[in-house]
Amino acid sequence: MKRQLHLTVGMRLLDVGCGRGSFLNSLHREMPSLRLFGLERDVRRALDAMRLTEASVLVGDGQVLPFRSGTFDRVVLGYALHHMSPSVRGRVLAEIARVLQTGGRLLVIEKAAPRGWLERLGLSIQVLSGGEDRQVYSLFGEGLTGELEAAGLSVLSDQEVKRRRVASAVPESHTRNR
């Protein structure tokens, strides 16, 4: 995952939905020169991230990012989209496109589509039992790519890595004022 970010010294990176900050902490240990920021809506998790990491962690919602346009070189969004309705996902992705610099990158990590009938059956059982959100289905196939493009992001790559779907995208244009 870190390899797909193409990080260099001094970059500004935002982890949207940073949870307890383990990814930010790992990045800081490997590249202390990065300027790291986290955003988490769950107050307890955000407090944990504030204690664990050297990042600036804010409590907030990805639908309204509290940063100026073009602030970040990189944005990471891991395992969060499938918890959102399509309309919320659209607003979150549009906000990410807004805060990315020209030439910046978004890295999305999500669940990979189930392979074979047995995995599909297992996911169906999880959804029916309430253990998994129904929104996960809309991200399979071309769903994620379409949502990224609708938010003004161009998909650089979309691949499956160890049962994770990893998509890298860049803003199409920063000429829009939001």
* Cβ contact 99:152 at 8 Å: no
Does the predicted model carry a pTM greater than 0.85? no
The pLDDT score that the predictor gives to residue 161 is 46
What is the total residue count of the chain? 178
* Cβ contact 24:4 at 8 Å: no
* Cβ contact 170:154 at 8 Å: yes
Q: Provide the residue type at 143 as one letter.
A: G
Which residue from 176, 69, 85, 101 is spatially nearest to 139, judged by alpha carbons?
A: 85
CA 147/CA 157 separation, integer angstroms: 14
104: left (phi over 0), alpha (psi -120 to 50) or beta: beta
**Among the residues of the chain, which ranges form H helices?**
2-5, 22-30, 43-52, 86-99, 116-128, 143-150
Which residue from 44, 42, 45, 38 is spatially nearest to 20, judged by alpha carbons?
A: 45
List per-residue pLDDT tens for the chain, 178 residues long: 566 778 889 999 999 999 999 999 999 999 999 999 999 999 999 999 999 999 999 999 899 999 999 999 999 988 787 777 778 888 999 999 999 998 898 888 776 555 665 655 555 555 556 655 555 544 555 567 777 777 777 766 554 445 454 556 678 764 344 4
The pLDDT score that the predictor gives to residue 116 is 63
CA 155/CA 168 separation, integer angstroms: 6
Domain ranges of the chain: 2-171
The pLDDT score that the predictor gives to residue 99 is 94
CA 126/CA 114 separation, integer angstroms: 12
Which H or E run includes 153? strand 153-161
CA 154/CA 39 separation, integer angstroms: 23
Please give the CATH topology (third level) of the domain spanning 2-171: Rossmann fold (3.40.50)
